[in-house]
Structure 1
Amino acid sequence: MRKKGLQITNDHGWTIERLQEQERKMKKANMAKRIAVIRLIMQGYLGIQVAELLNLHRETVSIYVQKFTQGGMDALLERRYAPGRKPYLSPEEERELKKMLEESTPADEGYGIETGWNTRIIQHVLEEKFSVTMSRGGIGDMLHRWGFRYTRPTYTLKRANPQKQKEFQQEMELIKKTCPTTWS
């Protein structure tokens, strides 16, 4: 006696035509593929055939059919993502650190004579104030997530003479225009 293969025992009111329409509306290809699995099984294809047609593993086809049969379209299209790693700082600690970085300098907070924050100083603050050890790269990533951007400090020379600088730039332009450059 021949096996019947995968079957959908509860179609939850979905017809082949409605499934085809829903499949076309789907913006995400992987979700459209899930609906296609159900449609093809309803049309009478075997699980192995559906797996070959859609380039899926046969167990994946079976899982999609099982999800749809048990919970309908919502269960079929549900995606659960991993929650990710637990943050090093609590929300209150994050707010406190952000406020400190935005409104003060390391010198104001008693961390040396620096006028700007860097990952080395923040690493020291985290260890001292919150008892948290983070790598400097991790701190940089955290700051980036918070919307902070790294900028290098720019220096201005206090005793620079703007007139002499302008004359020097004009002289350099003249030299560039008059001297032929020969590259061998």
Structure 2
Amino acid sequence: MPYKIQKSQPFTISDLRKLEKKEKQTSRQRRITAVRMVMEGYTMVDVAAILGMHRQSVASYIKKFKEHALEGLLTRKQIPGKKPYVTKLQQGELKQLILNTTSAELHFGQEAFWNTRNIQYVIKEKFAICMSREGIRKMLHRMNFSYTNATYVLKKANKEK
């Protein structure tokens, strides 16, 4: 026996079909398709078999759609993941340090540029955090820093030229 979605929903089958075509993300498109097919009279088991998903997934999509309409169907919880070693506040402090000073000013040798080895030392001394150089490189990339080759200025032999 097909599972019926109440007619009190503001979306019709044709509305959902239009939304399916407009949606760019396939995962969201499949959710809309599953709800539309159930509204058309397919059973949840049939929809799951046709779309290649588990029956329980179809049931959860229907439940979300009934409770929160399209907004509830399309929103997904963000998976938290592992917490970063360096907090946002510390990253901001590190970013200002990198932007406003050179590694030579902090006595890391004569190099006037920052590299992951110098930043690794700063993080260890300032925040007491041990990070790999690859982890630092990825963190810098997330902070919108990019790698550039160091340039230097040669002493000119003739100042007039």
TM-score by length of 1: 0.72
What corresponds to 1:134 in structure 2? 131
Matched AA of 1:74: E
What corresponds to 1:95 in structure 2? 92
Matched AA of 1:132: I
What corresponds to 1:86 in structure 2? 83
Any gaps of 5 or more consecutive residues in structure 2?
none
Distance 1:150-1:32 versus aligned 2 partners, 3 A rule: closer
* 1:54 matched to 2:51: yes
* Alpha-carbon separation, structure 1, partners of 2:88 and 2:78: 22
TM-score by length of 2: 0.81
What corresponds to 2:27 in structure 1? 30
Distance 1:126-1:12 versus aligned 2 partners, 3 A rule: same
* Alpha-carbon separation, structure 2, partners of 1:154 and 1:69: 61
User: 1:147: how far off?
Assistant: 2.3
What corresponds to 1:119 in structure 2? 116
| Alignment equivalent of 1:105, drawn from 79, 102, 112 | 102
| Alignment equivalent of 1:21, drawn from 15, 18, 40 | 18
* Alpha-carbon separation, structure 1, partners of 2:15 and 2:152: 67
Higher-Rg structure is 1
Runs of 4+ in 1 over 4 A off after TM superposition: 154-160
User: 1:9: how far off?
Assistant: 4.2
Name the SS for the 1:109 alignment partner: coil
Distance 1:112-1:33 versus aligned 2 partners, 3 A rule: same
Residues matched between the structures, number: 158
Distance 1:10-1:78 versus aligned 2 partners, 3 A rule: farther
Distance 1:148-1:134 versus aligned 2 partners, 3 A rule: same
* Alpha-carbon separation, structure 2, partners of 1:139 and 1:131: 14
Aligned partners of 2:3 and 2:43 also within 8 Å: yes
Matched AA of 2:18: E
Matched AA of 2:48: A
* Alpha-carbon separation, structure 2, partners of 1:143 and 1:35: 38
Aligned partners of 2:104 and 2:111 also within 8 Å: yes
Aligned partners of 1:11 and 1:72 also within 8 Å: no
Any gaps of 5 or more consecutive residues in structure 1?
161-184
Aligned partners of 1:41 and 1:50 also within 8 Å: yes
What corresponds to 2:4 in structure 1? 7
Distance 1:158-1:130 versus aligned 2 partners, 3 A rule: same
Aligned partners of 2:2 and 2:41 also within 8 Å: no
RMSD: 2.5
Q: Which moved more, 1:47-56 or 1:111-120?
A: 111-120
Matched AA of 2:77: R
